[in-house]
Amino acid sequence: MILFGLIIIRDRERALAEGIERPCPACGRTQPHGLLETYRQAHLFFIPLWRWNWRRFLACDVCGQVESITAEEAGEICRRSE
Ligand SMILES: [Zn+2]
């Protein structure tokens, strides 16, 4: 999305952790999961300005089942996986 020809808004995604072993509700077994974070970011030309609409997800590596989690849960998973 481009506003006023100067500010560009993009959705971003990054992986926070991989290979997190946990039960998958779709598979019904313990499977490796990836922890993903998405957010929306505004840029002025190529300069990043603001980030908002943060969301965290756990995605099963086997079946692709995606589960939304809170920032606190994501932080706890990151601490345990270190
Ligand atoms: Zn699964």
Which one, of 61, 69, 49, lies nearest residue 18 by Cα?
A: 61
Per the CB < 8 A criterion, the answer to whether 43 and 29 are in contact is no
* Residue 41 phi, psi dihedral angles, 5° rounding: -135, 135
Per the CB < 8 A criterion, the answer to whether 17 and 35 are in contact is yes
Above 60 in pLDDT, residue 2? Answer: no
**What spacing in Å lies between the alpha carbon of 54 and ligand 1's midpoint?**
24
Average pLDDT of 15-37? Answer: 94
Q: Where are the domains of the chain?
A: 2-81
> What would the pLDDT profile of 34-82 be if each residue is shown by its tens digit?
999 999 999 988 899 999 999 999 999 999 999 999 999 999 988 887 7
Which residues, by Cβ under 5 Å, contact ligand 1, an ion? Answer: 24, 26-27, 31, 60, 62-63, 65
**What spacing in Å lies between the alpha carbon of 4 and ligand 1's midpoint?**
43
Number of H helices, E strands in the chain: 1, 5
pTM of the model: 0.77
Q: What is the pLDDT of residue 4?
A: 61
